[in-house]
Amino acid sequence: MRITKVEELANYKVQVLNQRFGKMGIKMKRVAKGVDFDEVEERDGVKSISRHITFDEDTEDPEKISTCADMLADGVHNNLMKNHYLFERLHLWFA
């Protein structure tokens, strides 16, 4: 759909979002406009642990990316072990 910004989602045709995503499309558009009627719920416990880094410049260097991903994964793993957390999955996301 080539939507890359929240503003683009907020201005997208609701009919198209509804066709593509059903009721969730309508909610996505509403939330993109800053409107959310869902009640805030308090959660117990840790839902996720993450680490991130931003390079000074874009890179396609696989060694630099791999080294950084290993470092970030080690940081998450150390936190899990220190706090005796169990985990279900590890997700790497590159933007």
Q: State the pLDDT confidence band at 62, using cuts at 50, 70 and 90.
A: very high
Q: What is the pLDDT of residue 40?
A: 87
Cα–Cα distance, 3 to 12 (Å, whole number): 9
| pLDDT given at position 17 | 95
Contact assessment for residue 8 and residue 29, using Cβ atoms and an 8 Å cutoff: no
Domain ranges of the chain: 1-36, 51-87
* pLDDT score recorded for residue 5: 93
pTM: 0.50
- Are residues 9 and 3 in contact, defined by beta-carbon separation less than 8 angstroms? yes
